Structure 1
Amino acid sequence: MLRSFLVSLVVLALAGGAYFLFSPQGRQLVDRVTINWDRAEYKALHRAGKPLPGTPDLSRLAARLDRAGVEPGLPVHLRIYKLESEIELWVQKDGRFQRFATYPICMWSGRLGPKLKEGDRQAPEGFYTVDKDALNPNSRMHLSFNLGFPNVYDQSRGRTGSFLMVHGGCASIGCYAVTDGVVDEIWAFVTKALDNGQDRIPVHAFPFRMSERNMRLRSGDQWSGFWADLKKGHDLFETSGVPPKVSVCEGRYVFEPGSLATVASAVEEHCPPEIAGNS
């Protein structure tokens, strides 16, 4: 009798644990554990002077450029994925953008979800642009460029914050720290594209890889609606190979298919008569 009772308790405990892990709170816990594990590993490697997992061979840039058939000075686009701690560099080739490199992000602060206010230590999520005024070659974090938070979407929601950067090193209070070597390579592409006539570099920051599975796992999260809007812009790029034209309409991100002429467009208040990707 006692044995049956104990077995029942164990089964109930396991069932309760499984239920919790599939709840919004459980998913948040799993994500936080994953994020903190990666942060600890990356910080230890950085302190030891070792490259982070997934770092391209930065010493062989010329060979990598030759293999990809691209060069600094062509238009570029950056995509950030928080949960995976990755930043992608896309370069225009033959009328589309192709991924040239994926770099690990050594450190970003906060949790999944957008930045809301000054001092919350959250790294931003959303659609941003970088122009020449955003560049800081004299950064105390080696090199940095400002993402332009708050943009018009953030402002429409009353969000505050300043100096949210992509920079070198491995420390963050709201920025994306990618190590000195990685920021050197990204910087070369960004600055040469700007010097060569690209007015703004689109930088799109997502909470995670925007797969249907990842969205489904987090469907109960308080930010699921916001992330669903981000996914629309994300998927337009996946389909066309060109960053979408991003606007803000009635406090929401809206998107139109991009073209090579709109790659450098600023994010502005605008309600298109037909909003592609937002049905």
Structure 2
Amino acid sequence: MRLLALLAAALLLTLCAPASTALSPDPAFRQQQLRFERVRAAYHLHQTSVHQLLRRNGIRPERLELFVRAFKVGRRVEVWGREQNAGQFVLLRTYRLAGTSGTLGPKRRSGDRQIPEGFYHIDRFNPDSEYHLSLGLDYPNAADRRHAGPDPGGDIFLHGSDVTIGCLPITDAGIRELYVLAVEARAAGQTAIAVHIFPFDMTAENLARRVGSPHLAFWQNLVSGYQHFEDSHQLPQVSVNEQGTYVVH
């Protein structure tokens, strides 16, 4: 019985960082990124204005914590920030999603052109992207792997340009500013920048309009994580159980 309990615990895979985490600054990360020409150009354009934006919102750049939220309907990417483990997130920027592909619903296989939906993190910084600059997501996560086919695909990015086959493009100008924000957060010690992707605002009204969708049960599983942030402006803790269902703690 003890072995079964341990196995069950192992299957409960944490996706989002705890609400309160001790973060260790890593200024060397910024210096490493600044070795790349496109990152230096982005800093030249945006470092001063980014720091001013943060200070206007009561955030010291060296204590920055970021959160990104994207919506397919309405085509927007929101960037929220706060001081590390200090109160509520505030909306810093909203970028237009400059291109979309696929339809509403989660990504389930390579080549389906779908933009994923669910709870993710930035896990890669690409300073020399084919699409100017890009920030990689940890797709497929545990929930995706449980429900996807044998080849769920991968390489999902927030990036520049206005074209996509499953990624989130916000134009070169948009990604330059967001990249600076993300590097600053990483240099401040935030190793896991959460990215939540939704088909639309997860309200009861919007779900009721799509009651006949084959994705309804999946979307209902996203509601508690969406609503937690709407109510508190703090990140939920999200895990995945053995059935591949998101669980909000």
- Structure 1 residue 150: deviation in Å? 0.5
Kindly report the root-mean-square deviation, in angstroms, between the aligned alpha carbons of the 2 structures.
1.7
The one-letter code of the counterpart of 1:157 is H
Q: What is the TM-score normalised by the length of structure 2?
A: 0.75
Which residue is equivalent to 1:46? none
Which residue is equivalent to 2:248? 255
- Structure 1 residue 212: deviation in Å? 1.8
- 5 Å-filtered alignment, 1:167-182, equals 167-182=159-174
Counterpart check, 1:69 vs 2:58: yes
Change over 3 Å in CA distance of 1:199–1:85 after alignment to 2? same
The one-letter code of the counterpart of 1:202 is A
Change over 3 Å in CA distance of 1:72–1:180 after alignment to 2? farther
Whole-angstrom distance in 1 between the partners of 2:60 and 2:133: 21
Which residue is equivalent to 2:191? 199
Change over 3 Å in CA distance of 1:90–1:139 after alignment to 2? same
Counterpart check, 1:151 vs 2:136: no
Which residue is equivalent to 1:35? none
- Structure 1 residue 211: deviation in Å? 1.9
- 5 Å-filtered alignment, 1:1-279, equals 61=50, 64-73=53-62, 74-93=64-83, 94-131=86-123, 134-159=124-149, 160-249=152-241, 250-256=243-249
Secondary structure of the corresponding residue to residue 188 of structure 1 = helix
Do the aligned partners of 2:50 and 2:181 also contact (CA within 8 Å) in 1? no
- Structure 1 residue 107: deviation in Å? 0.6
Q: Which runs of 5+ in 2 are unaligned?
A: 1-45
The one-letter code of the counterpart of 2:209 is L
Do the aligned partners of 1:110 and 1:174 also contact (CA within 8 Å) in 2? yes
Change over 3 Å in CA distance of 1:60–1:75 after alignment to 2? closer
The one-letter code of the counterpart of 1:80 is A
The one-letter code of the counterpart of 1:86 is R
- Structure 1 residue 61: deviation in Å? 4.7
Do the aligned partners of 1:123 and 1:174 also contact (CA within 8 Å) in 2? yes
- Structure 1 residue 63: deviation in Å? 5.1
Do the aligned partners of 2:61 and 2:188 also contact (CA within 8 Å) in 1? no
Matched residues, number: 197
Whole-angstrom distance in 2 between the partners of 1:75 and 1:239: 19
Whole-angstrom distance in 1 between the partners of 2:192 and 2:50: 24
Of the two structures, which has the highest relative contact order with CA contacts closer than 8 Å and spacing of 6 or more?
2
Q: What is the TM-score normalised by the length of structure 1?
A: 0.67
- In our comparison, the structure showing a higher alpha carbon Rg is 1
Whole-angstrom distance in 2 between the partners of 1:122 and 1:158: 12
The one-letter code of the counterpart of 1:178 is I
Secondary structure of the corresponding residue to residue 128 of structure 2 = coil
Aligned-residue identity in percent:
38
Secondary structure of the corresponding residue to residue 130 of structure 1 = strand
1:207-261 CA-to-partner distances (Å, cap 9, x unmatched) read: 01112211111121111111111111100111222111110012201111xxxxx
Secondary structure of the corresponding residue to residue 219 of structure 2 = helix
Whole-angstrom distance in 1 between the partners of 2:56 and 2:157: 30
The one-letter code of the counterpart of 1:148 is D
Which residue is equivalent to 1:39? none
Is 105-114 or 158-167 further displaced after alignment? 158-167
Whole-angstrom distance in 1 between the partners of 2:214 and 2:147: 16
Do the aligned partners of 1:72 and 1:188 also contact (CA within 8 Å) in 2? no
1:40-80 CA-to-partner distances (Å, cap 9, x unmatched) read: xxxxxxxxxxxxxxxxxx89656544432335440000000
